[in-house]
């Protein structure tokens, strides 16, 4: 069964081999070398190509060509050596699948045997060759065959012990070929594992390098647009800066030229003005006019020079002025802070008590008091009058204090009543209606204040009597008339709330 998705090159090559005559088959099979070399090493595509070559029996065709006589093949030993190279590359890394037993037990030993036989033939031809060019060609072909054999044995180590041993058993012991084969087995056995490991490491290194180079290339390709954008941005910014610099230089040159032209124009105008003035001025007044002009010019020059000097001095003194202002600000802030600290210390300082007065201090204070009384004489009041005034002040103070205590008690009582009423109202608002109340829930509608309960009961009874009264007693009443109940609206509302009724219309 042929695999699906076969490479079209393999299909065309297999068809060409099947249709061509026998002598053209070796040359056609050489095209496999180009296909293998153009495929990346270690890739899945190369594995697929090797499977296609094996499935279309191109490997078997190579074995058949190697078993033929060299003289009948077009190209001779050159074609045969290239076919051995193709065969070894196709067999190494091949996954035969269902035909694995036939591949390992028949095809590989047959390939190794053909390589050895070809090597032996090349040795014989090399010995019998007479020309130097022919020997070089044979030596090159022998090297290719041995390299192909080593490549095949490196990929399939079991051929050394299985294939070569079975090949050695086919020949009689003691012959020259059997002895050489034994020597080859002895040489290959200790070194083949090392070479195989080296080849595997080489292949792994090549594969890692290929993947790493591909990753680096893809990474560079991804960064290429951003790098181009960055390069363009930097180039544009540099070009913009250069253009701005050139424009600035041009503007400065233009401004310098304009200033120079203005200065020249002003000088020309001043000279023309002076000439016109000289024409107008009397010849006797010319010297006086020139002297006045010189004085004015000198004053202008002095003014500009002094302004320049003062500005220069001010620029030189600016750091010292700044330091002086900063020092003043710091001193002001420090003094304010210290003043606040002193005030705080005075406010929170503990009372030290009165200092002990000395006799000299007492005499000094008494003298100050006498002087003050002498300067500010007071009205004389008798002892009886002062006592009466003192008693009146004490009575008024006592009356005020007692009244304030009573007001405080009344205020506390009012606040307690208001808190109790607000609590009761809040409980009533949260309690269910009388129709929905069950068990002890009606107790929530009772007030803990006896006056309030009595007032509420009176209001409730009055309301019931009015409702139960006959109709002829209600004649003349309108919807807005009030019932003959206490006029205190607050009491009515409390009564209706605590009894559970509703406010009458």
For residue 271 the two structure tokens come to 């000279």
Residues in the chain with pLDDT < 70?
1-5, 130-132, 154-197, 199, 281, 348-356, 378-380, 428, 431-452, 475-505
The reported pLDDT for the residue numbered 304 is 92
Find how far residue 349's CA is from the centre of its chain. 58
In terms of Cα–Cα distance, which of 59, 173, 182 is closest to 114? 59
Residue 109 and residue 162 in contact, taking contact as beta carbons nearer than 8 Å: yes
For residue 249 the two structure tokens come to 């230089």
DSSP state of 439: T
**pLDDT (tens digit per residue) in 227-282:** 888 888 899 999 999 999 999 999 999 999 999 999 999 889 888 887 887 777 67
The reported pLDDT for the residue numbered 490 is 43
Residue whose token pair is 């309301």: 463
DSSP string, 204-253: HHHHHHHHHHHHHHHHHHHHHHHHHHHHHHHHHHHHHHHHHHHHHHHHHH
The reported pLDDT for the residue numbered 176 is 66
Q: Report the C-alpha gap between 249 and 254 in whole angstroms.
A: 8
For residue 178 the two structure tokens come to 């059997």
Q: Report the C-alpha gap between 329 and 129 in whole angstroms.
A: 114
Residue whose token pair is 């253009």: 243
Q: Report the C-alpha gap between 138 and 81 in whole angstroms.
A: 10
The reported pLDDT for the residue numbered 352 is 59
Residue 34 and residue 51 in contact, taking contact as beta carbons nearer than 8 Å: no
Q: Which helix (H) or strand (E) covers residue 500, if one does?
A: none
Q: Report the C-alpha gap between 30 and 47 in whole angstroms.
A: 19
The reported pLDDT for the residue numbered 491 is 46
**pTM, entire model:** 0.35
For residue 56 the two structure tokens come to 């279309």
The reported pLDDT for the residue numbered 4 is 55
The reported pLDDT for the residue numbered 303 is 93
**pLDDT (tens digit per residue) in 19-56:** 777 777 777 777 777 787 777 777 777 778 777 777 77
In terms of Cα–Cα distance, which of 36, 127, 132 is closest to 88? 36
In terms of Cα–Cα distance, which of 486, 485, 499, 492 is closest to 447? 499
Residue 62 and residue 86 in contact, taking contact as beta carbons nearer than 8 Å: yes
The reported pLDDT for the residue numbered 496 is 45
End-to-end C-alpha distance for the chain, whole angstroms: 107
The reported pLDDT for the residue numbered 435 is 67
């Amino acid at each position: 069964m042929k695999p699906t998705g076969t490479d079209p090159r393999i299909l065309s090559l297999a068809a060409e081999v099947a249709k061509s005559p026998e002598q053209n088959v070796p040359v056609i099979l050489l095209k496999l070398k180009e296909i293998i070399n153009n495929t990346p090493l270690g890739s899945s595509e190369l594995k697929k190509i090797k499977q296609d070559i094996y499935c279309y029996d191109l490997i078997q065709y190579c074995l058949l060509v190697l078993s033929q006589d060299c003289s009948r093949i077009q190209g001779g030993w050159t074609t045969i050596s290239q076919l051995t190279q193709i065969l070894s590359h196709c067999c190494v890394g091949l996954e035969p699948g269902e035909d694995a037993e036939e591949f390992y037990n028949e095809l590989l030993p047959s390939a190794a045997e053909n390589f050895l036989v070809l090597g032996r033939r090349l040795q014989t031809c090399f010995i019998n060759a007479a020309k130097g060019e022919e020997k070089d060609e044979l030596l090159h072909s022998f090297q290719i065959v041995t390299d192909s054999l080593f490549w095949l044995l490196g990929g399939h180590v079991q051929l050394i012990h299985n294939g070569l041993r079975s090949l050695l058993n086919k020949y009689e012991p003691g012959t020259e070929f059997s002895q050489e084969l034994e020597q080859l087995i002895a040489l290959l056995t200790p070194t083949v594992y090392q070479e195989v490991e080296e080849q595997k490491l080489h292949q792994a290194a090549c594969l890692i390098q290929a993947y790493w180079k591909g990753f680096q290339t893809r990474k560079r390709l991804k960064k290429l647009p951003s790098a181009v954008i960055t390069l363009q941005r930097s180039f544009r910014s540099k070009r913009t800066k250069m253009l701005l610099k050139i424009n600035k230089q041009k503007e400065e040159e233009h401004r310098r030229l304009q200033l120079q032209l203005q200065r020249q124009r002003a000088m020309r105008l001043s000279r023309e003005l002076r000439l016109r003035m000289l024409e107008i001025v009397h010849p006797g007044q010319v010297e006086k006019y020139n002297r006045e002009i010189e004085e004015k010019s000198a004053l202008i020059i002095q003014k500009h020079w002094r302004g320049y000097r003062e500005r220069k001095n001010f620029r030189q003194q600016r750091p010292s002025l700044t330091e002086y202002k900063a020092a003043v600000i710091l001193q002001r802030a420090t003094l304010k802070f210290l003043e606040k600290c002193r005030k705080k210390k005075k406010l929170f300082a503990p009372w030290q008590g009165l200092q002990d007065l000395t006799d000299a201090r007492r005499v000094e204070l008494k003298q100050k008091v006498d002087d003050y009384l002498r300067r500010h004489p007071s009205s004389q009041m008798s002892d009886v009058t002062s006592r009466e005034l003192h008693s009146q002040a004490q009575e008024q103070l006592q009356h005020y204090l007692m009244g304030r205590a009573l007001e405080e008690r009344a205020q506390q009582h009012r606040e307690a009543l208001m808190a109790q009423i607000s609590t009761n109202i809040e409980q009533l608002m949260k309690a269910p209606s009388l129709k929905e109340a069950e068990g002890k829930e009606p107790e929530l509608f009772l007030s803990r204040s006896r006056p309030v309960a009595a007032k509420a009961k009176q209001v409730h009874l009055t309301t019931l009597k009015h409702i139960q009264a006959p109709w002829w007693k209600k004649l003349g009443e309108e919807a807005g008339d009030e019932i003959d109940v206490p006029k205190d609206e607050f009491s009515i509302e409390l009564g209706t709330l605590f009894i559970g009724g509703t406010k009458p219309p």
